[in-house]
Amino acid sequence: MTMTPEQATWFAETFGRLVDNVGLAVLGKNQVIRLVLTAMLAEGHVLLEDAPGTGKTSLAKALAATVQGTNNRIQFTPDLLPSDVTGVTIYDQQSHKFEFHRGPIFASIVLADEINRASPKTQSALLEVMEESRITVDGIGHEVGRPFMVIATQNPIEQAGTYRLPEAQLDRFLIKTSIGYPDLASTELILAGAANRNPAAGLTAMITTSAVADMADLASSVHTDAAILRYVAELTQETRLAAETRVGVSVRGALSMIRAAKVWAAAQGRNFVLPDDVKDLAAAVWTHRLVLDPEAEFSGMTAEKIITRVLADVAAPQARKPAA
| Residue 202 pLDDT | 78
**Can you tell me the mean pLDDT for 97-115?**
89
| Residue 213 pLDDT | 92
Q: How confident is the model at residue 258 (pLDDT cuts 50, 70, 90)?
A: very high
Of residues 130 and 161, more confidence is placed in 130
Q: How confident is the model at residue 324 (pLDDT cuts 50, 70, 90)?
A: low
Percent of the chain with pLDDT over 70: 95
Q: Is 163 exposed, middle or buried (0-12, 13-18, 19+ CB in 10 A)?
A: middle
| Residue 18 pLDDT | 94
| Residue 201 pLDDT | 74
* Cα distance between residue 94 and residue 31, in whole Å: 53
* Sign of CA pseudo-dihedral 130, 136, 137, 142: positive
Contact 105, 84 (CB under 8 A): no
Percent of the chain with pLDDT over 90: 45
* Cα distance between residue 287 and residue 306, in whole Å: 8
Using alpha carbons, list the distances in angstroms from residue 204 to 27, 39, 58, 147, 303: 16, 21, 15, 18, 39
pLDDT single digits (tens) 134-148? 988 888 888 998 889
pLDDT single digits (tens) 158-175? 655 567 787 888 889 999
* Cα distance between residue 176 and residue 249, in whole Å: 14
100 has pLDDT over 70: yes
pLDDT single digits (tens) 112-122? 988 888 888 88
* Cα distance between residue 217 and residue 178, in whole Å: 27
Q: Is 79 exposed, middle or buried (0-12, 13-18, 19+ CB in 10 A)?
A: exposed
**Can you tell me the mean pLDDT for 201-217?**
89
* Cα distance between residue 251 and residue 257, in whole Å: 10
| Residue 195 pLDDT | 60
Half-sphere CA count of 50, side-chain side, radius 13 A: 22
| Residue 286 pLDDT | 95
| Residue 148 pLDDT | 92
Residue 150, H or E segment:
strand 149-154
Q: How confident is the model at residue 230 (pLDDT cuts 50, 70, 90)?
A: very high
Looking at 42-119, list the stretches that DSSP marks H as alpha helix, in order from N- to C-terminal side.
Answer: 56-66, 82-86
225 has pLDDT over 70: yes
Range with top average pLDDT, 6-20, 66-80, 131-145, 168-182: 6-20
pLDDT single digits (tens) 180-189? 888 888 888 8
Contact 146, 43 (CB under 8 A): yes
DSSP string, 245-285: EEE---HHHHHHHHHHHHHHHHHTT-SB--HHHHHHHHHHH
Query: Quick check: helix, strand or coil at residue 62?
Result: helix
